Structure 1
Amino acid sequence: MTGNSSQSKILKHRAWSDAEKARICAANNADLYQAVFRAHGLPDQRTNAFWSSDAIAPPYYSNMTTLDPDAMEEQLVEIGWLTDRLGRRPGFKDGFSRFNLVDKGFQLLFSASWIWAEPHKISARAPQEWVRIRDAAALQRWEHSWKESGSPTDADVFTLGLLSDPDIHIYGRWADDGFDAGCIVNRSPEAVGISNIFSLAGTPQVFRDAVSLATVAFSPDLPLVGYERGAALDEMTKLGFKPVGQLRIWLSDEGGM
């Protein structure tokens, strides 16, 4: 029965169109946003059309992400409401590349691809020297390394509240008295997301390790998802991921998220 159940889940995943997979990717990413904001004690709201928060966002996080490619009117209303609340245009993740916001005072930060891998295509080998972050001291060392890898900020982005969230795992690879690589894995009902992959040495092996960790962290029957661009997208493609949609990150032309 167990084997048949797992096979049915995999077949169901194969039946999803790329458009449906992109929606699942966007929803999983919104789950991570929600967890990060709530770990900071920040308010948020979620509808079928979008996730948003009118609080000052942590560095590298937007105030809004879209969840439905066809709800553009509702999303534009929310952008306007957030602009009024924040006193500036919000950082905005256009999850389906539906908007051109240049004439509305935004600038395009970058475009990327949602990526998807079926569960049966990924090896479930747990890499050595990697550990799950479980306490404040380890989290501080992990975040220090993450910032060194190309995300500089004086603020604490990842807080202790994340460590008690059963759907969030933060992993780091030990090196001397700190970490030289890391990633975050988050579980949603229909997928497991991989994000914040970094390596101080810049070695491609970190992508394979992150995928292995995500596979063993939660249900092996769930597909793996995320978003990447450039060389990182190439590395994930080599590991069996396929692009299933496009997203864009928009910033206020006044600067900042």
Structure 2
Amino acid sequence: MIRGSSQGNIPKYAVRSDSDKVRICAANNADLYQAVFRAHGLPDQRTNAFWSSDATAPPYYSNMTTLDPDAIEEQQVEIGRLTDRLGRRPGLKDGFSRLDLGNKGFQLLFSASWIWAEPHRILAPAPQDWARIRDAAALDCWENSWKESGSPTDANVFTPALFSDPDIHIYGRSAGGGFDAGCIVNRSPEAVGISNIFSLTGTTQAFRDAVSLAGVAFSPDLPLVGYDSGAALDEMTKLGFKSVGLLRIWLTDNGS
């Protein structure tokens, strides 16, 4: 399948509705999922309705994300297929908060907002104390800091194979021979996504720095997108982002 497809024929500089923006946000996030799974050598499939994988997902990743708010029947069929293949209900990201899964053996992990900033809305030079991660040793150090910030797992989520993907940039802020903050930036045909922002210092500067990096990493003509909730959403809103729609993360009935 083609990465970044499913946006329709929306002109690049058209005034978009919030529903169009949510589709673009969901597609950008699915591009990141696809890149991470393929970097692990895991199979995946993608249609206009969903992205999914039959493989055991890396920590903090789902086996399915939805890409069309109206393709509910097709998505439910895929949920059933994944359940059969995996031997359990899949964790999934409902990108449009349209799937009613609470009475079907799923648990709601959390809800969040897709966020969007128009091109040129955020203009700031890239911070000088951040660097792009380009080798396995630096990535291992970066991931250890990311885990320390609140994403603990014994597995390696991000692999050096990501370095060969020109649409993925991983950044870290240097401190004491390691990294005390970081983020991931990924490019799609219609947006640049920001994710995995973390900081070990207890300050919010990492949010501003991550947004600045995303603004200069790829084309300045592309909007910046992502999803957040709680305090992180508040910080991104202060930086010029707007909430454009809701998503929900569902877990299997045993919480895995």
| TM class by smaller structure | over 0.9
Moved beyond 4 Å, runs of 4+: 11-14
What is the one-letter code of the residue matched to 2:243? P
Deviation at 1:164, TM superposition (A): 1.4
Paired position in structure 1 for 2:126: 126
Q: Deviations over 1:187-212 (max 9, x none)?
A: 00000000000001121111110000
Paired position in structure 2 for 1:245: 245
Corresponding residue SS for 1:237: helix
Corresponding residue SS for 1:103: coil
Paired position in structure 1 for 2:62: 62
Q: Deviations over 1:64-84 (max 9, x none)?
A: 000000000000000000000
**Aligned mates of 1:184, 1:142 — CA distance in 2:** 11
Deviation at 1:177, TM superposition (A): 1.2
Paired position in structure 2 for 1:37: 37
**Aligned mates of 2:149, 2:228 — CA distance in 1:** 16
Q: Deviations over 1:73-128 (max 9, x none)?
A: 00000000000000000011000000121111000000000000001211131102
Paired position in structure 2 for 1:187: 187
Corresponding residue SS for 2:120: helix
What is the one-letter code of the residue matched to 1:205? Q
The answer to whether the 8 Å contact 2:12/2:190 transfers is: no
Aligned residues: 246
The answer to whether the 8 Å contact 1:13/1:223 transfers is: no
**Aligned mates of 1:84, 1:47 — CA distance in 2:** 19
Paired position in structure 2 for 1:23: 23
What is the one-letter code of the residue matched to 1:84? D
**Aligned mates of 1:124, 1:201 — CA distance in 2:** 22
Alpha carbons of 1:12 and 1:31: their partners in 2 closer, same or farther (altered >3 Å)?
A: closer
Deviation at 1:255, TM superposition (A): 2.0
**Aligned mates of 2:254, 2:84 — CA distance in 1:** 15
Aligned counterparts, 1:159-170, within 5 A = 159-170=159-170
**Aligned mates of 1:100, 1:159 — CA distance in 2:** 34
What value does the CA root-mean-square deviation take over the aligned residues? 1.0
**Aligned mates of 2:213, 2:231 — CA distance in 1:** 20
Paired position in structure 1 for 2:157: 157
What is the one-letter code of the residue matched to 2:219? S
Corresponding residue SS for 1:203: coil
Q: Does 1:234 align with 2:209?
A: no
Gaps of 5+ in 1: 1-10
Corresponding residue SS for 1:215: helix
What is the one-letter code of the residue matched to 2:248? R
Corresponding residue SS for 1:253: coil
Deviation at 1:214, TM superposition (A): 0.3
What is the one-letter code of the residue matched to 1:171? Y
**Aligned mates of 2:218, 2:127 — CA distance in 1:** 15
What is the one-letter code of the residue matched to 2:17? S
The answer to whether the 8 Å contact 2:111/2:229 transfers is: yes
What is the one-letter code of the residue matched to 1:212? S
Paired position in structure 2 for 1:143: 143
The answer to whether the 8 Å contact 1:133/1:139 transfers is: yes
Alpha carbons of 1:106 and 1:20: their partners in 2 closer, same or farther (altered >3 Å)?
A: same
Gaps of 5+ in 2: 1-10
Q: Deviations over 1:209-252 (max 9, x none)?
A: 00000011000000000000000000000011000000000000
Q: Which has the higher helix share?
A: 1
